[in-house]
Structure formats: C-alpha cells, structure tokens
DNA sequence: AGACAACTACTGCCTAGGCAGTTATATTGC
DNA sequence: GCAATATAACTGCCTAGGCAGTAGTTGTCT
C-alpha cells in the first residue's frame, strides 16, 4: 500500500485546525450535555450504555456486555455494582454455566432504557446536527465510518504480529 | 428559531447508525492508538496535552491550562503532579502574584513537546484519514466545526438562565 | 479419567476527570 | 484603610476505564 496523502506533518502541527482536536472537543461537549440531561433522571453519561445494551440483547452477561461496549471486564463489573445499587438491574447466577451471571433489567431500569435514554440521546444529537441537510448528515456518517475503518485496520495489524 | 430537522426520534433510536455512537467509537479508538504510541516514550494519551499547551504559551499557569484545555482545575493540579514527578515540567511560584505558580518545561519536556508529540499525533491522524481527498478532509473539518458550534450554543443557553 | 487450556466474574492498583469545598493572596468598592 | 469579593492552587470524595492477576467453572484432548 502506497503512503497515503499527508494532511499533517510533525513540523508544523497546530492543535486548533486538527481533526483530532475537533473530534475530542465534540465528543467531550456531547458527553457533557448528555450527562447534564441524564442527571435529572439519576443517571450518568456512562450508565445509560449498559442499560441500553442489556435491553437490546447485546449484554446478556457481564462478559457479553464488555465485548459489546469495548470496555474492560473489570470496569464492567464495577459499573454493574453501581447500577445494581441503584436498583436498575439484577444479577442472576446461571444454572447452565455456573461461571456466568445473567443480567436483567428491573422495571425501573427497563423504563429508563425504553423512554428516558432514547429521548435524551435523540434530543442531544438532533440539536447537535441542527442546520445539517440530509446529504450532509449522510456524508458526516460516511466520513466517520471510513475513519473508523482506517483506525480499526491499525488495531488488527498491531495484534497480528 | 424553528424546530430543526429531526434525524433521530426516541421511538426508533438505534445505536449502530447514530452519529453519537460513531463519534464516541472513533474518539476512543484514536485515543487508544495515541496511547499505545506515546507509551514508548513514557507518556499517556492525557499527558501530551499539558506539554503541548505549555509549549504553545496557552498554559502559563495551572488555571490558564485548565481554561485552555477545558479540564477541571483539580484534575489539572494532579496531572501536573504526575508529569512533574516524571521530570517534564517545573513549577515556579510567581513573585508578582504569590497565588500563581508558573509552569515551565524541562529540557526533556520540551523535547517531547517539540518532537515526539507532534510526530505521534500527525502520524495517527494521517493514518486515520487515509484515502480521504482534500475536499473530504475539508468537509469533515467543517462538519465537525458546525456540530461543535451547535453544541456550544446549548452550553451558553444553559448557563444564561 | 486427568491434565490442560479457556473462559467468567471479580479484585487490587493505576491514571484520569468532575464537583465541592479550603486556604492564601489579590482586587474591588466604600 | 478595611471589609467584601474574586481568584489561584490545592484537597477530599466520587465516577470511570485500563491492566494484571485470582478463583472457580467448563470444555478439550489424550
């Protein structure tokens, strides 16, 4: 593969007009806005994730959830502790495989996952994309996906040594 | 201001094709790649930030740095503790204003800020943007900037109550 | 059957950021 | 000049994720 076009060089690297800077800032601001709105419902920005994933069947167990969300299994264990304390999930030891603990939403957890979480996320995203045409929206998605694919390939190469 | 076009609705919110999801994933992956490459030089993904900002005159003091990077002043204090322990910066109490502590890079810190950091960041970004045309690159930046402006306005409204 | 590998949940220990204070210093307003 | 206010750095206490290691359980291979 030929060396790709170089948008940045180490010599004159300026933070302000770097894609990385914009990307970080945007993610940070969106997170903060979500955090603020979730707080009214007793949730943090990080806690809606497990709820939604469990609800969608992509987090049957802790290990499953860790894989789905790309989060460390240790971090997942502690996150589940916190949202279990809040009464949003229940842990049930599996009978088939006594290593695994099956995750289930409580009524309150399911309500949050079904109503509050999608509402807040959709709201923040719509406001973030205010003034975007449908074409611009699609292109934005496409550019993000392509960048994600590029960085994903790096991961693969790194692990395949 | 009329209600903007709605790209998402709470009813049928799907994680996978959400801009928010893509944004988070991309930022996460880029961070991890940067983290991996910085590690060879004894730095973490978070630690290059203060070095670069101090070098560029946007972090003369801790408070200054906190404002520039949009990071909590408490977090900045502790971050400075860590990179001071590594011998990358020095803290010098100001004579003019005895509240403030002026920040200065050590030789090692300056070397990292001047060579290693820009090199790694430019490298990761170039590979992330592999295959992008100049037009696509510019549009990507423009879309990110517009989204950032939208979310910034929300912040302002929230605080001006 | 028994050794071994693989997997699950979990536990320390680390970095990292947010929020609510505290103390010392500087600025202001009267 | 002095009290009120603002600011700088810092400190607990919280959430949160990464890495390395542990105990218990399951599957595999001979």
Is the CB of residue B159 less than 8 Å away from at least one CB of chain A? no
pLDDT digits (tens, 9 = 90+) for B90-121: 999 999 999 999 999 999 999 999 999 999 99
User: Helix, strand or coil for residue B103?
Assistant: strand
Structural element, H or E, at residue B104? strand B101-105
Would you give per-residue pLDDT tens digits along chain A (161 residues)? Answer: 555 678 999 887 888 789 999 999 999 999 999 999 999 999 999 999 999 999 999 999 999 999 999 999 999 999 999 999 999 999 999 999 999 999 999 999 999 999 999 999 999 999 999 999 999 999 999 999 999 999 987 666 554 43
B84 touches strand C (CB under 7 A): no
Which one of A18, A68, A118 would you mutate to disrupt binding with B, by most B Cβ within 10 Å of its Cβ? A118
Which one of B30, B33, B114, B161 would you mutate to disrupt binding with A, by most A Cβ within 10 Å of its Cβ? B30
Measured from the Cβ of residue A16, the count of other Cβ atoms closer than 10 Å reads 8
What are the phi and psi torsion angles at A105 (to 5°)?
Answer: -80, 145
User: Helix, strand or coil for residue B77?
Assistant: helix
pLDDT for res A16: 79
- CA to C1' distance (Å), from B96 to C30: 26
Alpha carbons B137 and A70: distance in angstroms, whole number: 27
Contact call for residues A83 and A109 (beta carbons, < 8 A): yes
Structural element, H or E, at residue B91? strand B89-93
Cβ pairs A/B, distance under 8 A: 190
Residues 89-148 of A with CB under 7 A from strand C: 91, 97, 99-102
- CA to C1' distance (Å), from B30 to C7: 29
Measured from the Cβ of residue A133, the count of other Cβ atoms closer than 10 Å reads 10
The DSSP annotation for A97-118 comes to: -TT-EEEEE-HHHHHIIIIIHH
Dihedral of alpha carbons B102, B108, B110, B112, sign: negative
pLDDT for res B161: 36
Distance from CA of A75 to the nearest CA of B (A): 15
A24 touches strand C (CB under 7 A): no
The DSSP annotation for A34-102 comes to: HHHHHHTTT--TTTHHHHHHHHTTS-SBHHHHHHHHT--HHHHHHHHHHHHHTTSEEEEE-SS-TT-EE
pLDDT for res B2: 54
Is the CB of residue A150 less than 8 Å away from at least one CB of chain B? yes
Residue of B nearest to A26 (CA): B148
Pure H helices in B40-133: 48-55, 62-69, 73-85, 107-111, 117-128
Q: Which two tokens stand for residue A33?
A: 């806005």
pLDDT digits (tens, 9 = 90+) for B121-153: 999 999 999 999 999 999 999 999 999 999 987
Residues 140-159 of A with CB under 7 A from strand C: none
For residue A16, what are the contacts with CB-CB under 8 A and spacing of at least 6? none
B27 touches strand D (CB under 7 A): no
Q: Which residues pair with residue B104 across a beta bridge?
A: B90
Q: Which of residues 116-135 of B touch A (CB under 8 A)?
A: 118-119, 121-134
């Amino acid at each position: 593969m030929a060396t790709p076009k170089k948008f940045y060089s180490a010599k004159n690297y300026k933070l302000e007009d770097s894609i990385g800077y914009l990307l970080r800032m945007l993610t940070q601001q969106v997170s903060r806005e979500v955090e603020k709105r979730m707080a009214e419902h007793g949730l943090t920005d990080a806690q809606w994730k497990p709820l939604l994933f469990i609800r969608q069947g992509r987090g049957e167990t802790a290990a499953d959830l860790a894989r789905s969300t790309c989060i460390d299994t240790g971090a997942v264990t502690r996150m589940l502790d916190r949202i279990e304390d809040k009464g949003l999930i229940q842990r049930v030891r599996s009978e088939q495989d006594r290593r695994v603990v099956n995750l289930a939403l409580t009524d309150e957890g399911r309500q949050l996952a079904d109503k509050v979480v999608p509402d807040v996320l959709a709201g923040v995203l719509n406001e973030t994309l205010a003034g975007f045409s449908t074409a611009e929206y699609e292109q934005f998605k496409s550019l993000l996906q392509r960048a994600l694919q590029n960085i994903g390939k790096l991961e693969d190469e790194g692990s395949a040594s």
